[in-house]
Structure 1
Amino acid sequence: MTSPTKPTVLMVPGLRDHVEDHWQTILQRALPNARSVAPLEHDKLSCAARVAALDAALRDIDGPVVLVAHSAGVMITVHWARLRRRPIHGALLATPADLETPLPEGYPTHDALRDNGWLPMPRERLPFPGIVVASTNDPLARFERVAGMAQAWGSRLVHAGAVGHLNPASGFGEWPRAAELVAELSRERANAPC
């Protein structure tokens, strides 16, 4: 179990799970208090299975937690927040995939996402502080749509510029801004009970 004084940073990967050269994987290795939701062996497209995996990872952590979600991991996080009430210190929600609009070839279809419980996307205010990072040229979500998500979730929007989907295919690899935003979220409620 983890010390309750400093938040544990929990990575919530997207549908591609753990990618070795992804900024989440690099950040996890760099932080002494970080871990990740375990990859699924079965039901990989099931939103309920992904939410259950996040919930199981959180049950193994004592004390405050900062979630670091990317792409569909953001949707896993907001679906989880709608169903569960474990206190969360804050969440970095980077380049959420807009699952309500058709995704590029190679990604699940709208029907497959609907049939696996991803739709509709939750629009309720999150019960914890959030920072949503949006890209101006993300092939998985238009900036305006992500800005609307941030507003609905009661989260601060960070305009990241033209960073694509903020993944290795877009040139990220290492993303130093992630550590800065996680540190900000870790401090944000330092004196608040979690």
Structure 2
Amino acid sequence: MTAAAAVSSPRVLLLPGWQDSAPSHWQSRWEALHGHRRVEQDDWLWPRRGDWMARLDDVLLQSAAPAVVVAHSLGCQLVAAWAAHSRHTARVAAALLVAPPDTERDDMPPQLFNWRPIVRERLPFASRVVVSSDDPYCHPARALQMAADWGSEVVAVGARGHINGDAGLGDWPEGHAWLQQLIGRAD
């Protein structure tokens, strides 16, 4: 690969949700297997939307290479909120958004109240939302509405819970193939 190709090839940034991604989570496995970079947040337990958005901006500004973001759970809400407010959205080529939570539900923990309201503006880059039919943190109809509002393609994976380490996905090659498709479009 030439130096010019390396600069223009998208880098993959992993955006975990509330409490970060455990070692058994596919995001952690992708980080180890494929060298994708996790965006570390200062506070995984009491996530503040503005702080998480600022951190994403900081990481994106560290390199001239475009990024493809891979968000899970609250990371999906981060992408939507960040895209609505950042002046640096051109640095993101595409987004894979997995299991967006419904932070407007009455039963959400108080740590997530500052993630209300859900930002529902159309994303300025290609995106795909992966939805489970039995996600305990989001009814499928709500996830589909978020995807429509964001202008995202939808992939329904059936009953896979919150599509996390507990779902038994292992390295989740199917998800990584969807990521590669997005990267191909971004190139």
Asked whether the two chains share a fold, i.e. TM above 0.5, the reply is yes
- Match among 98, 102, 105 for residue 101 of structure 1: 105
Note closer, same or farther for the CA distance 1:59–1:164 as it changes in structure 2 (3 Å cut).
Answer: same
Amino acid at match of 1:4: V
Amino acid at match of 1:108: P
Deviations 1:160-193 (A, max 9, x none): 1110001122323321122101101101132xxx
Partner residue, 1:24: 27
- Match among 4, 10, 32 for residue 13 of structure 2: 10
Instruction: Say how many residue pairs are matched.
Output: 181
Q: Distance in 1 between matches of 2:54 and 2:171?
A: 28
- How far does residue 43 in structure 1 lie from its aligned partner after superposition? 7.6
Q: CA RMSD in A?
A: 1.8
The percentage of aligned residue pairs carrying the same residue is 35
Confirm or deny that 1:132 pairs with 2:132. no
Taking structure 2 as the reference length, what is the TM-score of the superposition? Answer: 0.89
Aligned structure 1 segments of 4 or more residues deviating by more than 3 angstroms:
41-44
Mapping 1:84-163, distance limit 5 Å: 84-86=86-88, 87=90, 88-103=92-107, 108-109=109-110, 112-114=111-113, 116=114, 118-163=115-160
Partner residue, 1:68: 70
Partner residue, 1:183: 180
- Match among 55, 61, 75 for residue 53 of structure 1: 55
Gaps of 5+ in 2: none
Q: Distance in 2 between matches of 1:6 and 1:59?
A: 16
Gaps of 5+ in 1: none
Q: Distance in 2 between matches of 1:74 and 1:154?
A: 13
The farther-off stretch of 171-180 and 7-16 is 171-180
Note closer, same or farther for the CA distance 1:36–1:128 as it changes in structure 2 (3 Å cut).
Answer: same
Deviations 1:128-161 (A, max 9, x none): 0000000000000011110111100000011111
Q: Distance in 2 between matches of 1:64 and 1:186?
A: 10
Q: Distance in 2 between matches of 1:61 and 1:54?
A: 12
Secondary structure of the residue that 1:11 maps to in structure 2?
strand
Residues 132 and 140, structure 2, Cα contact 8 Å, conserved in 1: yes
More helix by share: 2
- How far does residue 61 in structure 1 lie from its aligned partner after superposition? 2.4
Residues 18 and 39, structure 1, Cα contact 8 Å, conserved in 2: no
- How far does residue 56 in structure 1 lie from its aligned partner after superposition? 1.4
Partner residue, 2:81: 79
Q: Distance in 1 between matches of 2:44 and 2:38?
A: 18
Secondary structure of the residue that 1:4 maps to in structure 2?
helix
Taking structure 1 as the reference length, what is the TM-score of the superposition? Answer: 0.86
